[in-house]
Structures are given as structure tokens and as C-alpha cells.
């Protein structure tokens, strides 16, 4: 699983800057939405090149076999 890093910088004036690293595709927007709920109103938003990359999705295939004992 890929590692996602969130870099948060708070200026002397209280302005908060957040940079989400490692989240490919639109998955970074899930982090942005969560952080907005914590921090408050978004003043400006810039998308990085990672936003335009294909989303990373994990697939799990579960298979179960039942065997009858004689």
C-alpha cells in the first residue's frame, strides 16, 4: 500500500497550508475534505500533477471453498 504524507505549515499570521503527497488521482480530495472539516474554510486550492494520475485502488479477492467430509 502506498504511503501518503500530509505536510502542514502554519504561518505567524495563522494561515494554514497543507500539501498532500503520495495520494494519486482524486483520493487526495478525500484528505482535503477531511482537513477542511478540521481546519475551516479553504481560501485557495492548487492541484498537483499527482491529482491527474490514475487513482490507486486496492482489490481484494476472497474465495472460499466448502468441502463435505464423507
Helix (H, G, I), strand (E, B) or coil at 62: coil
CA distances from 9 to 26, 51, 53, 69 (A): 22, 20, 25, 62
Residue 58: the pLDDT is 45
Outline where 1-70 has alpha helix (H). Answer: 27-39
Domain ranges of the chain: 1-70
CA distances from 46 to 24, 43, 49 (A): 15, 11, 10
Asked if the model's pLDDT at residue 68 lies above 80, the reply is no
From CA 37, how far away is CA 22, in angstroms rounded? 21
The pLDDT tens digits of the residues spanning 15-47 come to 888 888 888 888 788 888 888 887 788 888 888
Percent of the chain with pLDDT over 70: 76
What mean pLDDT do residues 57-63 have? 54
Asked if the model's pLDDT at residue 70 lies above 70, the reply is no
Amino acid at each position: 500500500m502506498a504511503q501518503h504524507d500530509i505536510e502542514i505549515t502554519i504561518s505567524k499570521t495563522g494561515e494554514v497550508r497543507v500539501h498532500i503527497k503520495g495520494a494519486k488521482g482524486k483520493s487526495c480530495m478525500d484528505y482535503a475534505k477531511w482537513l477542511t472539516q478540521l481546519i475551516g474554510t479553504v481560501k485557495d486550492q492548487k492541484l498537483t500533477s499527482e491529482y491527474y494520475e490514475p487513482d490507486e485502488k486496492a482489490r481484494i479477492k476472497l474465495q472460499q471453498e466448502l468441502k463435505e467430509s464423507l
